[in-house]
């Protein structure tokens, strides 16, 4: 990872304020150590107040001033908020939802980039930004649009539906192929031509799974293509790197979109109670582009807020801990939304560095604390990067779509199944076990890993299995499940074997039954007598190879009595572990904690410092290959780490006594040999 400055930034909207406020803003930014602003994403109506009248002169002036003040700029393409003239009187240019409701001007993300007029206007404004600002010395990066699909998901605009038909034709070649692949003869859904295939609009009951999954994958491809087009325009004008500010919960294909960007950034608003949400994002987006630092493009200084909703404001000390976690986990920028509280719009309750009346806000002192931490860390991190993880969790965009379409294992009353929540729960277990980790895309290389956990990925395709099999053969431990492998790439049930013949052969199991365990009181037995409550979409396995070891069986009162829910087998130099039910409750949680730790320990994963839960260790590796560590208390309870002999505090240079080291509430320590 190349040495980069640590940026401390704000999202800035000078166009919303009197021109005379600029100097005052810059002076206060300089006092606080703000060295980056992100701007432009909602400024289309200022740049092009009437169709074709484009001028970036005002912003050039702002950029000149920021540059002179030593503040770098990320310029955004303003496509999420087209001006009134583009859509007024043109409902056909607007986003349409599944119920046929056409969005209106008055908020954001209301225009349909599927409409050719909207698309052309977007291209024109992006072209103008690139041509006018592409070589401006203040600009160190470009952001395309803003949080694609944060408010809306799939677009049912007629142009989108026409594109859907083209996409299907391209993908399946003939309608017979589509019918066969999906199995459309269920309920006489068989199609005669591609243009008959509906987008999943209202029907009396549910749509076909294959169609629903394909539609969502198509829609994600469309937004990625729109982003790529903008990037291609910008690349003609600028050498600076291009990003997009993802949100992990939005309706996009993160893996696909990351390929089109030079670096990835994300927006996250973790609250003190959900501190590990931010950690999850870092572990995912750091791994998305292994050789390029990721950025935090938006977070709040104290609390999030819009009409009718605001989060609990951060406790004192939380923001600095969030920033240190970000830098320690590989981010090179910590940027707040927003600089000055909105005086209008619908986000007036949102925290900002400065109030609308330009006084320090409730978060202002916290921003100063972040700046002190940034200054202390910058020299240490200049030539270091996070040590490569040995444990990872698989992120599958398709798996997520499939679970949205078919929430296997969900019970409307007792047990919600949500892909993101499931992955975050697994991720939190890795954190609590003190294991440095990545969240790696389904298509990512497995280099350097010793253990890979792949839960909730309904489809395990051949490409993924090829990679996993080779890696296991070379020594990796793959933990497959719960739920993983139960559907095909076309979102059907496998028919050659319950989990597909290849996965079953690799794992040395035969899947006998699959059924929902939630609410059934099912118990698994491990270590001869220990009972573990099980939930979710369960599978009962029978070993099909002598090499398969059954580690957990179903209790005698289960209809699948004696069959396995936890198996393992050696494969080459590695191991495949099947976990086919979800341990639940306190007992299940405790067992999972032990399970995660033993998988890592048996695979020889290095863990350092035995951090108490709620305290994180972020191992670093410097340019000479030397390891050092940052310990941060994230839960505000204070915690401990166990340190060996011979360490010094990397900030003060003082020796650190071997043994248990206390890390105070939201405090952090940098430790070197």
Considering the complex, what minimum distance in angstroms separates the CB of residue 242 from ligand GAL? Answer: 17
If the CB atoms of residues 59 and 215 are measured against ligand GAL, the closer one turns out to be 59
* Cβ neighbours of residue 418 closer than 8 Å, sequence gap 6 or more: 403, 407
Residue 108 labeled ligand binder: yes
If the CB atoms of residues 250 and 513 are measured against ligand GAL, the closer one turns out to be 250
Q: Which two tokens stand for residue 532?
A: 């573990």
Considering the complex, what minimum distance in angstroms separates the CB of residue 277 from ligand GAL? Answer: 14
Q: Does 143 bind ligand GAL (CB under 6 A)?
A: no
Q: Which stretch binds ligand GAL (CB under 6 A): 146-154, 503-511, 607-615, 654-662?
A: 146-154
If the CB atoms of residues 12 and 218 are measured against ligand GAL, the closer one turns out to be 12
Annotate each residue in 304-333 with x if it binds ligand GAL (CB under 6 A) or - if it does not, as one string: x-----------------------------
CA distances from 317 to 361, 630, 670 (A): 15, 17, 17
Return the closest-CA partner of residue 269 out of 74, 52, 586, 11: 11
Residue 146 labeled ligand binder: yes
Considering the complex, what minimum distance in angstroms separates the CB of residue 397 from ligand GAL? Answer: 20
Q: Which of 350, 398, 424, 523 binds ligand GAL (CB under 6 A)?
A: 350
If the CB atoms of residues 265 and 304 are measured against ligand GAL, the closer one turns out to be 304
DSSP sequence for 273-290: TTHHHHHHHHHHHHHHST
Considering the complex, what minimum distance in angstroms separates the CB of residue 304 from ligand GAL? Answer: 5
Catalytic residue numbers read 147, 298
C-beta of residue 443 within 8 angstroms of C-beta of residue 397: no
If the CB atoms of residues 267 and 568 are measured against ligand GAL, the closer one turns out to be 267
Q: Which stretch binds ligand GAL (CB under 6 A): 122-130, 144-152, 283-291, 530-538?
A: 144-152
Q: Which of 267, 268, 322, 371 binds ligand GAL (CB under 6 A)?
A: 267
Distance, CA of 423 to CA of 280 (rounded, Å): 9
Residue 473 labeled ligand binder: no
Q: Which stretch binds ligand GAL (CB under 6 A): 1-9, 143-151, 432-440, 569-577?
A: 143-151
What residues form DSSP beta bridges with 431? Answer: none
If the CB atoms of residues 253 and 304 are measured against ligand GAL, the closer one turns out to be 304
Q: Does 268 bind ligand GAL (CB under 6 A)?
A: no
Q: Does 28 bind ligand GAL (CB under 6 A)?
A: no
C-beta of residue 222 within 8 angstroms of C-beta of residue 118: no
Considering the complex, what minimum distance in angstroms separates the CB of residue 346 from ligand GAL? Answer: 9
Q: Does 266 bind ligand GAL (CB under 6 A)?
A: no
Distance, CA of 590 to CA of 433 (rounded, Å): 11
* DSSP-derived 3-state class of residue 123: helix
Considering the complex, what minimum distance in angstroms separates the CB of residue 299 from ligand GAL? Answer: 9
Q: Which two tokens stand for residue 523?
A: 């118990």
Return the closest-CA partner of residue 286 out of 436, 472, 426: 436
C-beta of residue 442 within 8 angstroms of C-beta of residue 436: no
Q: Does 145 bind ligand GAL (CB under 6 A)?
A: no
Q: Which of 337, 426, 595, 628 binds ligand GAL (CB under 6 A)?
A: 337
Interactions with ligand GAL, residue window 279-308 (CB under 6 A): 298, 304
If the CB atoms of residues 150 and 480 are measured against ligand GAL, the closer one turns out to be 150
User: Count residues contacting ligand GAL (CB under 6 A)?
Assistant: 10
Q: Which stretch binds ligand GAL (CB under 6 A): 63-71, 142-150, 436-444, 615-623?
A: 142-150
According to the 3-state scheme, what is the secondary structure of 474-489? Answer: CCCEEEECCCCCCECC
Q: Give the gyration radius of the chain's Cα atoms.
A: 26
Stated as kind and residue range, the H or E segment containing 142 is strand 139-143
DSSP sequence for 497-513: STT-HHHHHHHTEEEEE
Stated as kind and residue range, the H or E segment containing 230 is helix 209-235
Interactions with ligand GAL, residue window 148-177 (CB under 6 A): 150
Please report the sign of the dihedral spanned by the C-alpha atoms of residue 385, residue 439, residue 252, residue 260: positive
DSSP sequence for 207-227: PPHHHHHHHHHHHHHHHHHHH
Considering the complex, what minimum distance in angstroms separates the CB of residue 343 from ligand GAL? Answer: 15
Q: Does 402 bind ligand GAL (CB under 6 A)?
A: no
Q: First and final CA of the chain: distance in angstroms?
A: 22
Q: Does 12 bind ligand GAL (CB under 6 A)?
A: no
Please report the sign of the dihedral spanned by the C-alpha atoms of residue 185, residue 187, residue 191, residue 192: positive
* DSSP-derived 3-state class of residue 537: strand
Q: Which two tokens stand for residue 442?
A: 């389904």
Considering the complex, what minimum distance in angstroms separates the CB of residue 311 from ligand GAL? Answer: 9
DSSP 16: G
The residues of the shown chain that bind ligand GAL, judged by CB under 6 A, are 146-147, 150, 267, 269, 298, 304, 337, 347, 350
Known binding-site residues equal: 108, 146, 306
Known binding-site residues for substrate equal: 108, 146, 306
């Amino acid at each position: 990872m190349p040495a980069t400055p640590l940026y401390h930034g704000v999202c800035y909207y000078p166009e919303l304020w009197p021109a005379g406020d600029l100097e005052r803003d810059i002076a206060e930014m300089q006092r606080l150590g703000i060295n980056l602003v992100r701007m432009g994403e909602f400024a289309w109506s200022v740049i092009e107040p009437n169709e074709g009248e484009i001028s970036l002169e005002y912003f050039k002036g702002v950029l000149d001033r920021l540059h002179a003040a030593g503040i770098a700029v990320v310029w955004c393409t303003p496509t999420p908020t087209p001006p009134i003239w583009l859509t007024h009187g043109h409902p056909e240019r607007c986003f349409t939802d599944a119920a046929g409701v056409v969005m209106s001007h008055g908020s954001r993300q209301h225009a349909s980039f599927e409409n050719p007029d909207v698309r052309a206007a977007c291209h024109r404004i992006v072209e103008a930004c690139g041509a006018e600002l592409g070589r401006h010395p203040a600009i160190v990066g470009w952001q395309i649009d803003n949080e694609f699909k944060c408010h809306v998901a799939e677009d049912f605009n007629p142009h989108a539906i026409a594109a859907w038909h083209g996409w299907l034709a391209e993908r399946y070649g003939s309608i017979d192929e589509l019918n066969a692949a999906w199995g459309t003869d269920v309920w006489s859904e068989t199609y005669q031509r591609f243009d008959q295939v509906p987008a999943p609009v209202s029907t009396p009951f549910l749509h076909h799974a294959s169609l629903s999954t394909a539609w969502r994958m198509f829609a994600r491809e469309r937004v990625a293509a729109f982003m790529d087009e903008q990037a291609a325009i910008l690349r003609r004008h600028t050498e600076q790197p291009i990003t997009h500010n993802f949100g992990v919960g939005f309706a996009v294909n993160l893996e696909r979109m990351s390929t089109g960007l030079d670096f990835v950034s994300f927006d996250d608003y973790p609250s003190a109670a959900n501190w590990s949400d931010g950690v999850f994002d870092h572990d995912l987006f750091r791994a998305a582009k292994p050789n390029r630092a990721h950025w935090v493009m938006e977070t709040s200084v104290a609390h999030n807020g819009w009409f009718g909703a605001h989060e609990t404001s951060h406790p004192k000390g939380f923001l600095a801990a969030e920033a240190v976690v970000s830098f320690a986990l590989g981010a090179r920028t910590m940027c707040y939304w927003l600089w000055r509280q909105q005086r209008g719009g619908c986000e007036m309750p949102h925290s900002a560095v400065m109030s609308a009346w330009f006084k320090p806000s409730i978060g202002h002192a916290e921003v100063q604390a972040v700046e002190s931490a940034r200054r202390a860390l910058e020299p240490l991190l200049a030539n270091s990067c996070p040590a490569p993880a040995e444990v990872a969790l698989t992120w599958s965009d398709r798996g997520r779509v499939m679970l949205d379409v078919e929430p296997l294992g969900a019970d409307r009353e007792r047990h919600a199944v949500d892909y993101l929540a499931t992955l975050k729960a697994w991720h939190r277990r890795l954190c609590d076990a003190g294991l440095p980790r990545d969240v790696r895309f389904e298509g990512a290389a497995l280099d350097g890993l010793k253990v890979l956990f792949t839960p909730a990925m309904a489809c395990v395709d051949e490409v993924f299995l090829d990679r996993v099999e080779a890696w296991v053969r070379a020594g990796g431990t793959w933990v497959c499940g719960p739920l993983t492998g139960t559907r095909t790439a076309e979102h059907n049930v496998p028919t050659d074997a319950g989990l597909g013949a290849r996965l079953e052969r690799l794992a040395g199991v035969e899947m006998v039954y699959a059924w929902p365990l939630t609410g059934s009181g099912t118990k698994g037995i491990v270590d001869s007598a220990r009972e573990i409550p099980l939930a979710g979409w369960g599978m009962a396995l029978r070993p099909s190879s002598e090499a398969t070891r059954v580690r957990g069986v179903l209790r005698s009162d289960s209809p699948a009595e004696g069959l396995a829910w936890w198996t393992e087998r050696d494969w080459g130099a590695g191991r495949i572990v099947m976990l086919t039910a979800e341990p639940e409750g306190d007992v299940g949680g405790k067992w999972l904690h032990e399970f995660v730790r033993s998988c890592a320990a048996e695979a020889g994963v290095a863990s350092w410092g035995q951090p108490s839960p709620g305290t994180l260790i972020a191992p670093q590796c410097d340019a000479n290959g030397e390891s050092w560590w940052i310990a941060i208390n994230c839960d505000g309870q204070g915690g401990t780490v166990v340190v060996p002999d011979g360490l010094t505090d990397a900030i003060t240079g003082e020796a650190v006594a071997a043994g248990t080291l206390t890390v105070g509430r939201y405090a952090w320590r940098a430790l070197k040999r």
